[in-house]
């Protein structure tokens, strides 16, 4: 026996069974100490060739007094291994001793009460498990409540090794079963030996039972609670796997312990990690911190984001972790903490808060924080559009999936849609003519590209007759019709059909067949500069005397300018090249207009 003085423990006495102890009795196979530390009970299950015995000791001022050995007496049958398990009440007034080998391993248990003279006398007949199956090994484990009125007894061999446990209520007149036997129910897997270990809370209203061979040796433990209606399972079975780190077949549940108030449970697994062993501590969910929201829930990989964590029971927080990395934090109240996210690799990580009572919920139940890599913008297409806005643009780059805002200069995009981590679709807002920065914002930072707002040309009015202008058009492009290849526009009004197709109608007045490439262009103002921009190109082939319609597809700039002009746009038609023919420079001014669907009136009958 050891006693503590301050922070040091000192050997006070060495206890034995004395002359009553036989050889190879295995004295010390089981031990128990009363809550006040004044009574000790020690079992020797092999004493007397396997009959077994136990001794109670009481502490005096400087030594321990040994009481006469306790046995099962005439009620014990065969090698009962009396003393395989022992328990004692808080004041030492009651002693419970298990004998799992009694009567061919049916097992039994005995209760002894301390008399006024200080000696221990058997209280009532030996206890046995109701509905126990053969070789149930009742008494392999035992536990007593603080006041000595509730007993919990395990029988690990019941039901072919599935195991069971029984609860008994005691009074001055004896002991009686309290409800049916306890089992792991539907959660049990195989011959788990439920009842291999047992323990009770101080008031006897909570029980913890271990089954180390559940699920082929992985092991498990179950909590039970007593109410006015009896005993019932208190939550799902406890295990050390898969998220709690138990290594294959650890025999979790070989030993168990409960705090006096049942708010903490301890479960041992001696076979874990190649028999290195391990112990798990569980906390009552009603006492551990419970997290609700993390806001904001995303930030850059460099860290530094101020995060508000809300929840309950946070006042005693001692640690805050983002994905296992500790964060600096301040406790604001029992319901809020302010933390600064530490640096971390990109990805979603759990946020965990630790208090003296335990850790907040983990796994899929934990709130998360997402670390986002800084976005990059590689291209904005098209990179220009009218000052009136409305240009659909594609923004490509990297790490764009968490985009929260897109702006053109200081103005937010009219709308945007995240297509993927590499692309965003946006619509330009209205803006003054000139080049602006396109900014893509995510929790990870900002990426930047450029876009130029251009002043759209005014729609052309006037007659619909053909019109041409002689002279150079710049860039070497001509609407060229030499002596052998001559053509005319049927109309300078060009209809824009569905899918942004502009229908250019030509009539060839030369001889033979001519082919070439034409383009539509516009002159736009960007800041103080005026530039010529191509809005469509197309190829043609036409025979002498024929009328041909050439469909050219407007690009995004052309579509945007047409939209900005309310469906009308002035442009220039230029033949870039005429295959196999010399040509003279010539450009035609044209007017594009969206062709509206015609309304058809129903005939009156």
Q: What are phi and psi of 435, to 5 degrees?
A: -90, 135
Q: What fold does the segment set 469-594 form as a domain? A: Immunoglobulin-like (2.60.40)
Per DSSP, the three-state class of 171 is strand
Per DSSP, the three-state class of 186 is helix
Supply the CATH classification number for the domain 73-283.
2.130.10.130
CA distances (Å), 224 to each of 208, 232, 258, in order?
Answer: 6, 5, 12
Instruction: Indicate the burial class of 275 (C-beta count within 10 angstroms; 0-12, 13-18, 19 or more).
Output: exposed
Give the residue from 47, 133, 121 showing the smallest Cα distance to 82: 47
Question: End-to-end CA distance of the chain, in Å?
Answer: 116
Check for a shared fold between 73-283 and 290-372. no
Domain coordinates of the chain in residue numbers? Answer: 73-283, 290-372, 376-454, 469-594
DSSP 307-319: EEEEEES-TT--E
Task: Determine the pLDDT at residue 283.
Answer: 81
Cα gap 137→534, rounded to integer Å? 93
Scan for tokens 């001889």, then name that residue.
Answer: 511
CA angle 591, 594, 600 (to 5 degrees): 130
Task: Determine the pLDDT at residue 142.
Answer: 98
> Could you tell me which residues come within 8 angstroms of residue 558 by beta carbon, excluding any fewer than 6 positions away?
500, 520, 522, 535, 536, 569
Give the residue from 37, 39, 141 showing the smallest Cα distance to 93: 39
Query: What letter would DSSP give residue 596?
Result: P
- Total-model pTM: 0.58
Task: Kindly state the tokens that stand for 234.
Answer: 């208190």
CA distances (Å), 422 to each of 5, 215, 372, 436, 440, in order?
Answer: 68, 47, 14, 22, 12
Per DSSP, the three-state class of 300 is strand
Supply the CATH classification number for the domain 290-372.
2.60.40.10
Instruction: Indicate the burial class of 567 (C-beta count within 10 angstroms; 0-12, 13-18, 19 or more).
Output: middle
Strand (E) or helix (H) holding 556: helix 556-564
Task: Kindly state the tokens that stand for 298.
Answer: 């995303």
Mean pLDDT by 10 residues, the chain (605 residues): 89 89 91 96 95 94 90 95 98 97 97 93 95 96 97 97 97 88 94 97 97 95 94 92 68 96 93 89 85 94 96 94 96 96 95 91 88 94 88 94 95 96 95 93 94 74 37 34 62 82 74 74 77 84 75 86 82 66 64 73 56
Q: What fold does the segment set 376-454 form as a domain? A: Immunoglobulin-like (2.60.40)
Task: Kindly state the tokens that stand for 22.
Answer: 């036989």
Give the residue from 221, 223, 259, 255 showing the smallest Cα distance to 240: 221
Instruction: Indicate the burial class of 602 (C-beta count within 10 angstroms; 0-12, 13-18, 19 or more).
Output: exposed
DSSP 85-136: EEEE-TTS-EEEEEETTHHHHTBEEEEEEE-TTS-EEE-SSPB--TTPPTT-
Cα gap 165→182, rounded to integer Å? 5
Cα gap 429→441, rounded to integer Å? 17
């Amino acid at each position: 026996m050891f006693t503590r003085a301050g922070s040091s423990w000192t050997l006070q006495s060495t206890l034995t069974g004395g002359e009553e102890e036989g050889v190879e009795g295995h004295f010390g196979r089981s031990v128990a100490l009363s809550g006040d530390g004044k009574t000790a009970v020690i079992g020797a299950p092999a004493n007397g060739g396997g009959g077994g015995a136990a001794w109670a000791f009481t502490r005096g001022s400087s030594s321990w007094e040994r009481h006469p050995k306790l046995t099962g007496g005439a009620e014990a049958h065969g090698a009962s291994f009396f003393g395989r398990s022992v328990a004692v009440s808080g004041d030492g007034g009651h002693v419970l001793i298990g004998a799992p080998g009694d009567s061919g391993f049916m097992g039994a248990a005995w209760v002894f009460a301390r008399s006024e003279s200080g000696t221990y006398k058997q209280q009532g007949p030996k206890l046995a498990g109701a509905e126990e199956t053969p070789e149930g090994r009742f008494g392999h484990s035992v536990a007593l409540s603080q006041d000595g009125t509730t007993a919990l007894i395990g029988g690990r061999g019941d039901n072919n090794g599935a195991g069971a446990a029984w609860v008994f209520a005691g009074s001055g007149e004896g002991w009686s079963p309290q409800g049916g036997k306890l089992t792991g129910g539907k959660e049990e897997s195989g011959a788990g030996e439920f009842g291999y270990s047992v323990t009770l809370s101080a008031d006897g209203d909570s029980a913890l039972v271990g089954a180390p061979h559940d699920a082929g040796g992985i092991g498990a433990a179950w909590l039970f609670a007593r109410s006015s209606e009896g005993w019932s399972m208190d939550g799902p079975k406890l295990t050390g796997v898969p998220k709690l780190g138990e290594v294959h077949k650890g025999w979790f549940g070989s030993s168990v312990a409960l705090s006096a108030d049942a708010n903490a449970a301890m479960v041992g697994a001696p076979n874990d990690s190649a028999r290195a062993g391990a112990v798990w501590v569980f906390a009552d969910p009603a006492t551990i911190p419970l997290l609700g929201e993390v806001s904001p829930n995303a930030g850059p990989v460099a860290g530094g984001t101020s995060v508000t964590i809300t929840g309950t029971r946070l006042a005693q927080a001692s640690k805050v972790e983002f994905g296992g990395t500790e964060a600096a934090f301040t406790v604001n109240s029992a319901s809020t903490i302010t933390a600064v996210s530490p640096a971390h690799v990109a990805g979603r990580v759990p946020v965990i808060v630790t208090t003296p009572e335990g850790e907040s919920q983990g796994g899929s139940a934990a709130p998360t924080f997402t670390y986002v890599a800084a976005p990059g913008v590689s291209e904005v297409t098209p990179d220009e559009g009218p000052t009136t806005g409305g240009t659909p643009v594609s923004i490509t780059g990297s790490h764009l999936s968490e985009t929260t805002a897109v702006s053109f200069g200081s103005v937010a995009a009219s709308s945007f849609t995240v297509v993927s981590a590499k692309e965003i679709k946006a619509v330009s807002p209205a803006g003054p003519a000139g080049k602006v920065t396109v900014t893509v914002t995510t929790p990870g930072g900002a990426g930047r590209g450029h876009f130029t707002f251009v002043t759209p040309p005014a729609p052309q009015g006037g007659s619909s007759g053909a019109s041409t202008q002689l002279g150079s058009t710049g860039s070497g492009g001509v609407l060229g019709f030499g002596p052998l290849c001559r053509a005319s526009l049927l109309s300078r009004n060009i209809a824009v059909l569905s899918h942004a197709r502009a229908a250019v109608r030509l009539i060839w007045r030369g001889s033979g067949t001519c082919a070439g490439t034409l383009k539509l262009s516009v002159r736009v103002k960007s800041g103080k500069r005026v530039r010529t921009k191509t809005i469509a190109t197309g190829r043609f082939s036409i025979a002498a005397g024929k009328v041909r319609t050439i469909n050219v597809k407007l690009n995004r700039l052309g579509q945007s300018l047409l939209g900005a002009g309310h469906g009308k746009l002035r442009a220039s038609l230029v033949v870039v090249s005429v295959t196999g023919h010399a040509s003279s420079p010539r450009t035609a001014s044209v007017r594009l207009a969206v062709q509206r669907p015609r309304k058809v009136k129903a005939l009156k009958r």
